[in-house]
Amino acid sequence: MNPSRLLIAFACLAFLASCAPLQPGPAPVLACPKQSPAELSAYQNALGPLSDSDTLLCALAVLRQAQDSPLNRTALGSRLYLHLAERETDPRQREHYAAAGVKSAEAAFALGAKNDGAVHYYLAANLGLLVREQVTLAVQNLGRLAQEMRLAVALSPGLDEGGPLRLLGALYLKAPAWPDGMGDLDQALALLERAANEYPRHPINHLFYAQALWSEGDETHQAQARTAFSLGQKLLAEGDWGYSNAAWAKEFAVFAEEMGMEEAQSHLEPRSRANSRRFVSCAYCG
């Protein structure tokens, strides 16, 4: 065990000590248009980052009321909860949505969706959000998180513009490294390079690849990291990413600051700049 593991665990304990148990926020009162599962099925692919939250909540209400619908054997519910969670600014409500997304995916599995890569992917994405907010869960669920991501990579690597590659790569990048954990920069670089090259339209693919390159700590890789970062930033600025835009822009800004901060210290000890990781902040999926 090294300090990275300790820091995670400390943060976890701090959370436990300072926070009351998670309580879901009050259920919103919505005036949802009457719609059938079949109607929802017809436009489900249009639901995403550009949809307003009420539309997503209404769609979820349809799913809840139609327990026997084939839609409940898909990743739709988990995906919608993820979109809600990602745009939510209240941490507790965000965790509530992410937890619901995990449960929705588990319910889909129970109905026979175990070979559906999308269900594994959105389960992992929601679980990643939970992990991000509650480090205790990170420690407890790291194995499961990795397993779901690996299944998603095996079954549907191209889903959501390389989302499974992006998520698993981020996990390898940000988890504690061997011998403390499953963190593995080599694996991270391979997955994130593939995500950036094969699915180049997604800004976060380039951001995460930039972070992995930066972790190498040498000037050559850092120059490549800046290039990847700039490309991702350009894609973010030029695209319409809806509600995802703010969260992604913030993540770009944080990493830009990190690069600047570390560059300022580079004259001291270049090798030590490497491996600047955050632990499992892989919520950038949709």
Partner 1 sequence: MLKRLLTIAALLASCLTFAASQPEMIVVCYPGGSVNAADANAAMSSMLRVVERIGHWRENSFDSLFTTKTDECRKQMAEKNPKFAITSLGLFLALRDQNRLIPLAQPQLKGRTSEIYRVMVEKGQFQNLEELKGKTLGGTVLEEQAFIAKIVFAGNLDPASFFVLKPSNQAIRTLRSLAKGELDAVMLNQQQFDGLASLHLEKPLAVVFTSEEIPLLGVVADAAATTEAERGRFTKALAGMCDDPEGKKLCELFGIDAFAAADKSVFEPFIKRWTEER
116 vs 251, beta carbon nearer partner 1: 251
Q: Taking the complex as a whole, how short is the minimal distance between the CB of residue 240 and partner 1, in angstroms?
A: 32
| 188 DSSP 8-state letter | H
Q: Taking the complex as a whole, how short is the minimal distance between the CB of residue 261 and partner 1, in angstroms?
A: 8
Whether the Cβ atoms of residue 203 and residue 232 lie closer than 8 Å to each other: yes
- Between the CA of residue 33 and those of 54, 77, 136, 278, what are the distances in Å? 11, 18, 40, 42
Size of the residue set binding partner 1 (CB under 8 A): 38
Amino acid at 49: P
* 3-state DSSP of 29-56: CCCCCCCCHHHHHHHHHHCCCCCCHHHH
Q: Does residue 177 touch partner 1 according to CB under 8 A?
A: yes
Pairwise CA distance, residues 12 & 209, whole Å = 27
Q: Taking the complex as a whole, how short is the minimal distance between the CB of residue 99 and partner 1, in angstroms?
A: 22
Pairwise CA distance, residues 50 & 47, whole Å = 7
224 vs 275, beta carbon nearer partner 1: 275
Q: Does residue 272 touch partner 1 according to CB under 8 A?
A: yes
Give me the 69-88 binding string for partner 1, x by CB under 8 A, dash otherwise: --------------------
Q: Which residue has the tokens 């588990």?
A: 106
Site for partner 1 in 6-45 (CB under 8 A): 6-11, 13-15, 17-18
Amino acid at 240: D
Q: Does residue 279 touch partner 1 according to CB under 8 A?
A: yes
Q: Taking the complex as a whole, how short is the minimal distance between the CB of residue 72 and partner 1, in angstroms?
A: 38
Q: Does residue 217 touch partner 1 according to CB under 8 A?
A: yes
Q: Taking the complex as a whole, how short is the minimal distance between the CB of residue 44 and partner 1, in angstroms?
A: 38
Structure tokens at 200: 């180049």
* Residue among 182, 146, 179 at smallest CA distance from 164: 146
| Residue 199: strand, helix, or coil | coil
**Which of residues 21, 143, 179, 260 is near partner 1 by CB under 8 A?**
179
1 vs 154, beta carbon nearer partner 1: 1
* Residue among 131, 210, 125, 128 at smallest CA distance from 161: 125
**Which of residues 2, 36, 67, 147 is near partner 1 by CB under 8 A?**
2
**Measured CA angle at 215 (ends 211, 216), to 5 deg:** 130
97 vs 229, beta carbon nearer partner 1: 229
Q: Which residue has the tokens 């719609």?
A: 35
Q: Taking the complex as a whole, how short is the minimal distance between the CB of residue 182 and partner 1, in angstroms?
A: 10
**Which of residues 117, 131, 265, 286 is near partner 1 by CB under 8 A?**
265
51 vs 222, beta carbon nearer partner 1: 222
Stretch that binds partner 1, among 115-123, 183-191, 196-204, 230-238 (CB under 8 A): 183-191
Pairwise CA distance, residues 101 & 107, whole Å = 10
Sites of contact with partner 1 (CB under 8 A): 1-11, 13-15, 17-18, 176-179, 183-186, 217, 258, 261, 265, 268-269, 271-272, 274-279
